Structure 1
Amino acid sequence: MPTLVPPSETFKDSFLDAVREAQATGSGLGDTLGFNVAEIERNFPAFLINLNRFVPPAVPPEGFVNSEPLWLVEGDTYLGRVSLRHTLNRRLREFGGHIGYEIRPGERRRGYATLALRLALERARALGLSRVLVTCDLDNLGSRRVIETNGGELE
């Protein structure tokens, strides 16, 4: 059964495959990490440190909030990622919300996004968040379905 875990060296090869896959298909995973695949491969420990830079007890710089990256994995296979923001700022109220998620292109349309969001919501509850904001583009019907399946209401 897939689970959410903190990013780790255990999933390096599968994660790198997912980044290459995303870049080849023009998916967001390859664009939003701030690293190219060669940099990640060359210095994976530095990449992991960068991913975790806003995890409490870190004090984020002005304009940022505490958050935690989580990876959806099954066995040693990376399936996708979740970003769980512990609070919101003005920008996140407009775009991003508390939870962002992405599934690697080859694993989409298999229910993993619904599962990732459900697990992220459980983690948010454990952090004491009773209500969370999850956003998606108006034309992203798949993500809208994922949100609504997990009890989200369209605003």
Structure 2
Amino acid sequence: MPELVQPAGRYKASFLEAVREAQSSGSGLGDTLRFNVPDMQRDFPSFLAHLCRFAPGQPLPDGFVHSEYLWLVEGDTYLGRASVRHTLNDRLRQFGGHIGYEVRPSARRQGHATRILQLSLKRAHQLGIAQALLTCDADNTGSRRAIEKNAGVLEGEFRIDDHPKPFLRFWVPTHP
């Protein structure tokens, strides 16, 4: 059964393979598409440290909130990732929300988005978040389905100047 774990070196080969998949297909979150695979191969521990730069206890740059990266894995296979934001700022209240997630292209349409969101909501509940805000592009039917399967309630469809597509905002209960 897939589980959420802290990013770790044991998943390096599978994670890098997933990044290559996303980059070759052009399908992934913006930072995934910009990751420098040769640099990550050379110094994976530095990349892992970079993922933890917004963890609680770390100093935050202006405009950022504490958050944690978690990876969905099964055995040593990386399936996807989540970012659980511990609070919201004005920007995240508008677009982004408490939880962002991504499933590697070869693992899509297998229920992993629903699972990663379910486990991320449990983590949000542990942080004292009763209702999590989630957003997804209006044309992202897979993400919308995952949110709705986790009891997400649609607030509406929105647009903002710096995002090219209309997006949906959902509120999702985090109770276990």
Normalised to the residue count of structure 2, the TM-score between the two structures is 0.85
The aligned counterpart of 2:62 is: 62
More strand by share: 2
Runs of 5+ consecutive residues of structure 1 not aligned to the other structure:
none
Structure 2, unaligned stretches of length 5 or more? Answer: 156-176
Give me the whole-angstrom Cα distance separating, in 2, the residues matched to 1:3 and 1:60. 28
The alignment partner of 1:21 has SS state of helix
Aligned equivalent of 1:116 = 116
**Cα displacement (A) at 1:141:** 1.5
**Aligned-pair CA distance for 1:27:** 1.4
Q: Which has the higher helix share?
A: 1
Q: Which structure 1 residue ranges, 4+ long, deviate > 3 Å from structure 2?
A: none
> Is the 2:27–2:105 contact (alpha carbons within 8 Å) kept by the matching residues of 1?
yes
Counting only pairs closer than 5 Å after superposition, residues 57-136 of structure 1 correspond to structure 2 as 57-136=57-136
CA distance in 2, matches of 1:142, 1:15: 21
**1:100 counterpart SS class:** strand
Deviation for aligned residue 1:7:
0.4
Aligned residues: 154
Could you tell me how far apart the structure 1 residues matched to 2:131 and 2:60 are? 22
Q: Counterparts of 2:73 and 2:140 in 1: how far apart (Å)?
A: 24
Cα shift at 1:60? 1.1
Instruction: State the 1:38 CA deviation.
Output: 0.8
RMSD: 1.0
1:59 deviation in Å?
Answer: 2.5
